[in-house]
Structure 1
Amino acid sequence: MPSNPQNDFPEAFEICQKFDISEEQMREIVHRLTKEINMGLAKDTHPRAVVKCFITYVQDLPTGKERGKYLALDLGGTNFRVLLVTLKSESEINIESKSYAISKDLMEGPGKNLFDFIAECLASYCKEMHIEKENLPLGFTFSFPLQQVGINKGIMITWTKGFKCDGVVGKNVVELLQDAINRRGDLKVRIVAILNDTTGTLMSCAFANRNCRIGLIVGTGTNACYVEKTSNTEMFEGYQTSNKPNMIVNCEMGAFGDNGVLDFVRTSYDRAVDKQSINPKRQTFEKCISGMYLGELVRHVVVELMGKGLLFKGLNSQAIQEMWRFNTSYISDIESDAVGVHRQASMVMDQLGIRTNVEKDLECLRYICQTVSTRSAKLTSCALVCLINKMNSKDCSVGIDGGVYRYHPHYHRLLTENMNMLLKGSAKFELIVSEDGSGRGAALIAAVSA
């Protein structure tokens, strides 16, 4: 943090104080999230719970002995990928993949068109790899809220991330994709498992780290899954009779706070960003944490200070006034400069049509970025500590993926420091970057289930 923001830019300091979360507030957040998770797990409270805690039907973690060829399909944003994963040994995994862009028309048009397009890309990839006749098992990573009713059956709850295709919500997405594949008649593939990116992240890490118990995504969106005792997962029919002790639970944690329990730490800027989003009053926790929103929070603060003539005096641009124009990646860029250096901040503002080398302004911009990203990391730490406590784990690994975690220069350190502060030595943990959870993890689930 700058040496003395309170003296150097008191108005910005005052605004940024609103984003600060004390240790006491963090402990309260852990307490409230624990309560919400318990509601999501229990049969009688699940229907009204905001943190849904969906059963994934994945009860086996990888043993490290899985072998063979598997397909994976990863749909979770504006690009999707097809992967061919060959498990050769515990340390040798061969992955070949190809990405395909999804147009705005497909994102907002009929669901049938989207699934036909995915099937078309899958078919062309399989022909390219000469595996179209092999009838390989496929793991399907579908990173949208989903209620699983079986390992290969998932009912779409709601679109997020800018998608709004008709005819998908309330339907089994595995069936929609399998129908699209069957309509083509030129491809043999069986979808053996559907999962979301958090489950894939956990599985991908667990292949090499046996004590991985949490999968976390901090990217465009945010979510986590963890290993729960099967006997606690009341939404699972066999929760009392299952001979398997564990069940991976997909928290759908982004919705934490949709019932108002986070209002005590939200700011007027959060409410403004929420109002202009495509899903107002939904995904409250995610909007304080994830890459889709952090840049926009910074932009709101910057624009307010500019409007008062307190920042970038006499300068303005169309770009800085444009909603969503301040990318979250800019925050990582700005914070990656050494303290007292403002090269990246100057370049970012230049891209936004504001040419300036005024040290104090650029220092202030960095301070705003640090404030918003630090709060994101603190909230994420609360969630991880909540899950570690929930599992009563004394030592576990956390598999993490997503651009905010991967590319922000201080995020890992901020998580570690804040988790240690909250845990006070009660548990050991290791944070590991998950290698391609949504691809490799999907193939591993296909391997474990097939």
Structure 2
Amino acid sequence: MSGNTEEMLEDYRRRMNLPAAELRKVRDVFLEELHTGLERSGNSSLLMLPTMVDILPDGHEHGEFFSINFGGSTLRLAYVVLGKGHKEVDRIEESEQKIPEELRKRHATELFDFLATELIDFADRIDIPISGRLTIGFCFSFPVQQISINSGRLMTWVKGFECEGAVGQDPTRLLDDAFRRQGVLVSIPAMTNDTVATLAAVRYRDGQDAFIAAVMGTGTNASYVEQIKNLPKYLPQYMPRTSDMCVNTEWPGFFSHSLPILNEDQELDAESDHPGQHCFEKLTAGLYLGEIARRILLRFAKVGCLFGGDVPETLLRQGAVDSSQVGRIHSDDTPDLLKTGAFLEQIVGINPEKNTHTLRTQVKAICDLVANRSAQLMAATVVGLLTHLGRVDTSQPLQKNVLAIDGGILINWPNYRVQMTAAIKEICGQEVYDNLHMKIPAGGAAFGAACIAAAANNYMRSAGHGYRPPARSVSSYFPPRRPSQTF
């Protein structure tokens, strides 16, 4: 590597690769924000939303359910038949497709019509006749102020969506209306986000040791199981059925001066749809990792030390590099870095004679820093949740900790999970690390949403067919997230 490149890389390593002491600072600030966010009038960058999901599946649920998992760039659908035996899954059918980019800016009616139509077409493809009323678990992974287990109010769009006519509305009602426009009657006994659904999927299949779920894909978020006595802002007219409730942290908005924020991050934020918001997500999630890498590569190119003084035209275009390309480079373990070479030739437009091993090594080093920073920050916040739950106290016999995980990055980037677990070990030590188990649930959040619908249905059956989850009008119990001041 040239001297300038090596000096720049060392500078970026110092700023992006956090030692254990710095990661503990991030964990500690996250804990402070978490505790403040749990308070009714807390002024926190974490919304800490009660989800009204106070019953998670235990493997005894049964019935026939559809599910819709919508929360990013991909729509995932499932048809699930749970048998009467313990953890018995008689049938599961799945489908996924990209959400058309143009729907991100269209009216909400068009977006929800798309969701309903896709489920109807999916049922037709798997030869499930639509007769009577369909029961659907709805996984809706955007900030929702939950009123009951199956209703709430959309607080804001994130992840590049800006559909008019949805903010302030009940997503369950919007979906029900869309099916009615198609002439199909549905029952939606549960609406939740993908983290709670991921937790439910692991609970159904693998038992009750999972208390935290984290998703890292296009966006990122985490939920965990909290004692209701620690939730002064849960809806007081909602009559809980157990002593616990899932809490949606909404950690995309987590902000701290301890976070390793670069000039490139600040530039990305300034040009984003929501400047000054969703700081943690913009540092870590798939929607942004490719763009962060592009901006760093561009900076290296402009000072003349990466591409021999040339600035590839591709790197001047916003969005020209996506996270999947960063992931391929991050996982490039071939001796000649062939995946990285393919990226440089096919995406960046580097001539084969200039596509040297040295250049590939430099580019991989940059992409590794972008991915590893995300993994380290993910580790710090997960440890924050474990610490809050009292599950890292080595003075007591340590319990088995199951972390339910999902999302394209956690599933498809093996080196990302290696970095994340290594950071957890650095922060907590060997004992806690040895008792931590990551579970990727079969069927993912779509299966979990069906399981939550099944658990809600089972409870309603046992309580009588006239049961409706208690609700009340939304008021000021959930304060607005504190905006980032300097991001």
Q: TM-score, normalised by structure 2?
A: 0.85
Q: Which residues in structure 2 correspond to 1:109-258 (within 5 Å)?
A: 109-128=106-125, 129-185=127-183, 187-210=184-207, 211-238=209-236, 242=240, 244-257=242-255
- Answer yes or no: is 1:354 the counterpart of 2:350: yes
Structure 2 counterpart of 1:444, from 434, 442, 451: 451
- Answer yes or no: is 1:18 the counterpart of 2:15: yes
Question: Which residue pairs with 1:278 in the alignment?
Answer: 273
Structure 2 counterpart of 1:429, from 408, 427, 436: 436
- 1:320 is paired with a residue whose SS is helix
* 1:340–1:363 contact (8 Å) kept in structure 2: no
* 1:294–1:373 contact (8 Å) kept in structure 2: yes
After the TM superposition, which of the residue ranges 246-255 and 390-399 deviates more from structure 2? 390-399
Question: Which residue pairs with 2:60 in the alignment?
Answer: 65
* 1:233–1:239 contact (8 Å) kept in structure 2: no
- The residue identity in structure 1 corresponding to 2:417 is H
Q: Deviations over 1:192-245 (max 9, x none)?
A: 110111111111111122211111111111100011111111221359974512
- The residue identity in structure 2 corresponding to 1:411 is Y
Give, in whole Å, the separation in 1 of the partners of 2:139 and 2:165. 19
- The residue identity in structure 2 corresponding to 1:20 is N
Give, in whole Å, the separation in 1 of the partners of 2:238 and 2:2. 56
Question: Which residue pairs with 1:397 in the alignment?
Answer: 402
1:105–1:10 distance in 2 versus 1, CA, 3 Å: closer
- 2:371 is paired with a residue whose SS is helix
- 1:319 is paired with a residue whose SS is helix
* 1:231–1:239 contact (8 Å) kept in structure 2: no
Question: Which residue pairs with 1:107 in the alignment?
Answer: 104
- Answer yes or no: is 1:334 the counterpart of 2:322: no
Gaps of at least 5 residues in structure 1 are none
Question: Which residue pairs with 1:298 in the alignment?
Answer: 293
- The residue identity in structure 1 corresponding to 2:387 is N
- Answer yes or no: is 1:319 the counterpart of 2:317: no
Question: Which residue pairs with 1:344 in the alignment?
Answer: 339
1:100–1:310 distance in 2 versus 1, CA, 3 Å: closer
Question: Which residue pairs with 2:75 in the alignment?
Answer: 80
Question: Which residue pairs with 2:304 in the alignment?
Answer: 309
Give, in whole Å, the separation in 2 of the partners of 1:435 and 1:176. 29
Shift of 1:349: 0.7
Give, in whole Å, the separation in 2 of the partners of 1:8 and 1:300. 15
Give, in whole Å, the separation in 1 of the partners of 2:136 and 2:154. 19
- The residue identity in structure 1 corresponding to 2:415 is H
Question: Which residue pairs with 1:288 in the alignment?
Answer: 283
* 1:332–1:409 contact (8 Å) kept in structure 2: no
Gaps of at least 5 residues in structure 2 are 392-398, 458-487
* 2:344–2:355 contact (8 Å) kept in structure 1: no
After the TM superposition, which of the residue ranges 381-390 and 131-140 deviates more from structure 2? 131-140
- The residue identity in structure 1 corresponding to 2:454 is A
Give, in whole Å, the separation in 1 of the partners of 2:312 and 2:2. 25
Give, in whole Å, the separation in 1 of the partners of 2:233 and 2:297. 46
- 1:341 is paired with a residue whose SS is coil
What's the Cα RMSD here?
A: 2.2
- The residue identity in structure 2 corresponding to 1:404 is I
After the TM superposition, which of the residue ranges 112-121 and 374-383 deviates more from structure 2? 112-121
Residues paired across the two proteins, number:
441
Structure 2 counterpart of 1:420, from 425, 431, 438: 425
Question: Which residue pairs with 2:38 in the alignment?
Answer: 41
Give, in whole Å, the separation in 2 of the partners of 1:116 and 1:319. 36
Q: Deviations over 1:245-266 (max 9, x none)?
A: 2111110001001xxx236521
- The residue identity in structure 2 corresponding to 1:418 is A
1:308–1:5 distance in 2 versus 1, CA, 3 Å: closer
- The residue identity in structure 2 corresponding to 1:219 is G
* 2:52–2:149 contact (8 Å) kept in structure 1: yes
* 2:25–2:258 contact (8 Å) kept in structure 1: no
- 2:188 is paired with a residue whose SS is strand
* 1:137–1:191 contact (8 Å) kept in structure 2: yes
After the TM superposition, which of the residue ranges 261-270 and 67-76 deviates more from structure 2? 261-270
- The residue identity in structure 2 corresponding to 1:292 is L
Question: Which residue pairs with 2:375 in the alignment?
Answer: 377
Give, in whole Å, the separation in 2 of the partners of 1:136 and 1:146. 24
State, as a whole percentage, how many aligned pairs show the same letter: 29
Q: TM-score, normalised by structure 1?
A: 0.92
Give, in whole Å, the separation in 1 of the partners of 2:303 and 2:381. 36
- 2:45 is paired with a residue whose SS is coil
Q: Deviations over 1:373-419 (max 9, x none)?
A: 11111100011101111111232101111111112231111121111
Question: Which residue pairs with 2:467 in the alignment?
Answer: none
Shift of 1:449: 0.3
* 1:230–1:239 contact (8 Å) kept in structure 2: no
Question: Which residue pairs with 1:9 in the alignment?
Answer: 6
- The residue identity in structure 1 corresponding to 2:232 is E
- The residue identity in structure 2 corresponding to 1:68 is G
1:58–1:268 distance in 2 versus 1, CA, 3 Å: same
Shift of 1:344: 1.2
Give, in whole Å, the separation in 2 of the partners of 1:53 and 1:65. 29
Question: Which residue pairs with 1:267 in the alignment?
Answer: 262
- 2:190 is paired with a residue whose SS is strand
